[in-house]
Chains A and B, each alone.
Chain A
Amino acid sequence: MIPELGQFAVILALMLAIVQAVVPLVGTMRGYANWSAVARPAAAGQFVFLVIAFAALAHAFLTDNFSVAYVAENSNSALPVAYKFAAIWGAHEGSLLLWVLILGGWTVAVAAFSRNLPDHMVTRVLSVMGVVSVGFLCFILFTSNPFTRLAQPPMEGRDLNPLLQDPGLVMHPPVLYMGYVGMSVAFAFALAALIGGRLDSTWARWSRPWTTVAWLFLTVGITAGSHWAYNELGWGGWWFWDPVENASLMPWLAATGLIHSLAVTEKRGSFRIWTVLLAILAFSLSLLGTFLVRSGVLTSVHAFATDPTRGLYVLGFLTIVVGGSLAIYAWRAPTIAGGNRFEFLSRETMLLGNNLFLLTICAFVLLGTLYPLVYDALGLGKISVGFPWFNVMFLLFAPPLAVVMGLGPLTRWQSDDPQALWRRVRSACLVSVLVFAAFALYHFSWAGLKVALGIGLAVWIAATTVVNLRGRVKPGTGLAGKWRILRRQSRSYYGMLVAHLGVAVFAVGIAAVSVWGIDRNVRLGPGDSADVGGYTFHFQSTKNIAGPNYEADQATVLVTRGGERVAVLYPQKRRYDASGQVMTESGVDGGLTRDLYVALGEPLGDGTWSVRLYTKPFVRWIWGGGLLMAVGGVLAISDRRYRIAAYRSRAHSAVQGRPA
């Protein structure tokens, strides 16, 4: 009964989404104020029904209702409750429902927090979001219904994929989806502005905080995903250039470009057309990401063959969204006036460089991800793109991006004098080149060059930040005067600095762990020990333990350094009861400057195991950098400017139009 209610709620949500998409848009075009006024209630109603649908699915999972096919495939009565709940988004159908639920949430948030925006703008934004929602709800109802019942319900479910039974999974997909779906807000704002023909700095100001929030969630989601992969996959890697990871990285790259381009549009009125295009691109990549990951197109190209309706729907929907928005873009773009002119050496150029490099990386990730798919679809054979290629590509384009990142905030808008700029940056330049040279000489190898480059660039970003702050406080007299100036700086200024420092921290992390990290695969029995990177790992004993829905072999590994005890790690090899799947649970001792990592390989008889031992210097800086970027985002959206601007524009917003 309850699953049917859920199904019914999805249908009602679809009806309301259609109303939300069509009626208000016609209202703004014809000037029917009462038609336009439908947008907010329709959005709220749609959200209510989506919550009901989601609750119905949650109920089915929590009560082990295996008559629902999706529950039977992805849950099990022995699964801990938290994982039963997380299993809702453990596979394709449920995660799509989560997607639309989040979309509904974002729509309601836009409706609620935009009382100060002109009504026709909000109305158009909401109807564009309605269109997206219609697409997803149809996808759910016609191809991927999570509420489908089984004629003969099994006694027991097939269990949630053990890989996903980790605290990281409970949070990772919803946070990532908040980011993906949040891009739809930036997209809707861009399209609404295009339709209305009012593409100016006010539009950029409205769109900016929403874009930053979405970017922030994407950043946290990707960081959490990377940390989860590190802990759960047992290979000690933090990024694998796996298609699924690339699917989340591409929208992030486009979104990062977008928030920088929006800054130019807001501050200077330039880059308008480009910014709109980026908003469309970021959202299209989010859609692509969602579908690639969940529809099974990537892991198995045959998903197109086994379930042609799903694949065709995905292609069709992407074509409509991308094609439709580009058509509106082509129709309206010529009417958009260009912004203020700028000289070659100006902050605008630096931000253009930022966009150029980010999008080049994005394009190459896209190439590496989709090329094997296209190659196979053309019947040319099966290929895969090697991991090293992505690293080479990243190494080619990321360093210039970091250079521009340091220069940008120190360059003046519109026009700057090369000599004045050089005077500002020369000290930072000198320090970073010295650091680079020191590391390069110390290692004197190809790998050493990488670590020198990473750390040199990190120092460069940090040093330019210091230069930037010093430049700001220069007019202040005495410490008190300088402090007063610092306090007067806007939060978004600090947000920018913190986010850039996050990149520096991240760069140190990747450079250090990729070059100084040591891994050894060894054969260890009870009493054996092995040396890795100055640490001695003593394999003491193994024992059998029982978890809630698995059994495990757990080893006790004592780590010492110079005879002193550093940590005791308990890596496990789990065997899940329901599926019989074997999973590695690594033992990690985390630290600011190094992680010690042990993962059990396989039993080799007589209590002997193959064991992976790693030391991972500075690996936590990678995720720390990601979190710092997110903190920068939080600072930026808490800026007073948005609240003041909101207050001022309230006076202007008057209801336009006549009743139908």
Chain B
Amino acid sequence: MTPTRKKRLYLIAAMVVGIAIATGLALKAFNQNLMFFFSPSEVAAGKAPQGQRFRIGGMVVKGSVHRDPESLAVTFDLTDYKHTVTVSYTGILPDLFREGQGIVAHGTINGQGQFVADEVLAKHDENYMPPEVAQMMKKSGGKEGQ
């Protein structure tokens, strides 16, 4: 191999290694950022991971929304008509958040079995139901709506 060829080979190898390392880092971060979806029943059965962020979905129980009169803290119950999980959240709820409707929250479960949400989503299709929640309801056999 001529010296210039050798040099080129090294440079190309260095580039490939660089890209490979960056790709590896990106993939590692990818695995850490995957968020799994659990229903209130699965959470009640202890299937949800402790100390790791996940998503929970269900219907907001009517009359369960309590606001703190001083701050933006709010708690509400989320149900799949079999089990109920209490969600606490501080911040502004989305426009489409309503009692008796399906929502999805992101967050972690704390020691008391309460779900501490850092994000509440109420994206939905025409039936006011996030797709995950709709499918979960179908599976759990719960009635949609009231």
Contacts and interface: CB of A to CB of B under 8 A. Distances in A.
A388 interface: yes
Given A344-B7, A389-B29, A523-B71, A360 B23 contact: yes
Interface stretch (B77-85, B92-100, B107-115): B92-100
Contact of B36 (A383, A522, A581): A383
Contacts of A592: none
A582 B26 contact: no
B54 to A, nearest CB: 9
B119 to A, nearest CB: 9
A382 B92 contact: no
Interface string B54-76: 01000000000001001110000
A295 to B, nearest CB: 13
Contacts of A356: 19
Contacts of A383: 34-37
A344 B34 contact: no
Interface in A589-612: 601-602, 604, 610, 612
Contact of A521 (B15, B53, B72, B96): B72
B37 A392 contact: no
B125 A385 contact: no
Which residue, A368, A522, A583, A602, has most C-beta atoms of chain B within 10 A? A602
B17 interface: no
Interface stretch (A298-306, A477-485, A529-537): A298-306
Contact of B125 (A300, A397, A612): A300
B93 A602 contact: yes
Nearest to B131: A300
A396 B36 contact: no
B135 A610 contact: no
B44 interface: no
Contact of A602 (B25, B32, B92): B92
A610 B97 CA distance: 14
B92 A612 contact: yes
Given A360-B23, A393-B29, A396-B25, A385 B96 contact: no
A187 B21 CA distance: 33
A382 B95 contact: no
Contacts of A2: none
Contacts of B67: 604
B45 to A, nearest CB: 15
A25 B131 CA distance: 45
A554 to B, nearest CB: 16
Contact of B92 (A296, A386, A610): A610
Interface residues of A, number: 38
Contacts of A522: 72
B25 A386 contact: no
Which residue, A296, A384, A396, A582, has most C-beta atoms of chain B within 10 A? A384
Contact of B55 (A353, A384, A392, A601): A384
Contacts of A396: 22, 25-26
Nearest to A390: B33
A334 interface: no
Interface string A193-223: 0000000000000000000000000000000
B11 A344 contact: yes
A382 B132 contact: yes
Contact of B95 (A367, A397, A582): A582
B18 to A, nearest CB: 8
Contacts of B123: 299
A381 interface: yes
A301 B136 CA distance: 13
Interface in A290-345: 296, 299-302, 344
A493 interface: no
Contacts of A385: 30, 33-35
A444 interface: no
A422 interface: no
Nearest to A606: B69
B84 to A, nearest CB: 20
Contacts of A393: 26, 29-30
4 closest A-B pairs (Cβ-Cβ)?
A601-B92, A389-B33, A382-B37, A300-B131
Given A344-B11, A392-B29, A581-B95, 15 more contacts: A300-B134, A302-B131, A381-B36, A383-B37, A384-B34, A384-B35, A386-B33, A386-B35, A389-B29, A393-B26, A393-B29, A396-B26, A581-B96, A582-B95, A601-B72
20 contacts: A302-B131, A344-B11, A356-B19, A364-B26, A383-B36, A383-B37, A384-B35, A386-B34, A386-B35, A389-B32, A389-B33, A393-B29, A393-B30, A396-B25, A396-B26, A397-B22, A573-B95, A581-B95, A583-B95, A612-B92
